[in-house]
């Protein structure tokens, strides 16, 4: 665990370390993806990160469809994985990762997404496209 001071507020926050999560890699991917998004405001990004465990009903976790939209075949077993949410504070864009793998992006979060995020119970890729 380490401490980080917020530049704007001056408040120190505790940062927990998750050895299986590569935060530097995730932040680099998010930073490189921002210019491709319509809602990005083009300023220097400021990220907040939230990490929480989430239980899934199959071994595919949140990846229940392919990039082409086809269903994924997976094992029927309760699976726990860390959900990593990276929030770009200026443009209000959320990047959702499962472990170290990008899952989806929410550019215009609605109340359903924000409630699910508060409850640490985000939807799978397929359901996120329909609900968020």
pLDDT in tens, 13-40: 555 666 678 888 898 899 999 988 888 8
User: Any idea what DSSP says for residue 58?
Assistant: S
pLDDT at 8 over 70: no
SS3 content of the chain, % helix, strand, coil (to 5): 20, 30, 45
What totals of helices (H) and strands (E) does the chain contain, helices first?
3, 6
| Phi, psi (rounded to 5 degrees) for 106 | -115, 110
* Per-residue model confidence (pLDDT) at position 17: 62
Per-residue confidence at 1, pLDDT binned at 50, 70, 90? very low
Mean pLDDT, range 97-110, rounded to an integer: 94
**Helix spans in the chain (H):** 23-33, 111-118, 125-131
3-state secondary structure at position 15: strand
pLDDT in tens, 47-64: 999 999 999 988 888 988
pTM (2 decimals)? 0.80
């Amino acid at each position: 665990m380490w401490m980080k001071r917020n530049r704007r507020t001056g408040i120190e926050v505790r940062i927990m370390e998750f050895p299986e999560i590569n935060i530097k890699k995730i932040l680099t991917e998010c930073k490189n993806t921002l210019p491709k998004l319509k809602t990005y405001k083009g300023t220097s990004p400021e990220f907040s990160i939230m990490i929480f465990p989430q239980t899934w009903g199959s071994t595919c976790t949140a990846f229940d469809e392919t990039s082409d939209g086809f269903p994924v075949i997976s094992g029927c077993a309760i699976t726990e994985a860390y959900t990593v949410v990276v929030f770009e504070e200026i443009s209000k864009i959320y990047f959702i990762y499962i472990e170290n793998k990008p899952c989806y992006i929410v550019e215009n979060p609605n109340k359903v997404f924000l409630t699910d995020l508060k409850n640490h119970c985000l939807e799978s890729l397929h359901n996120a496209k329909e609900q968020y």
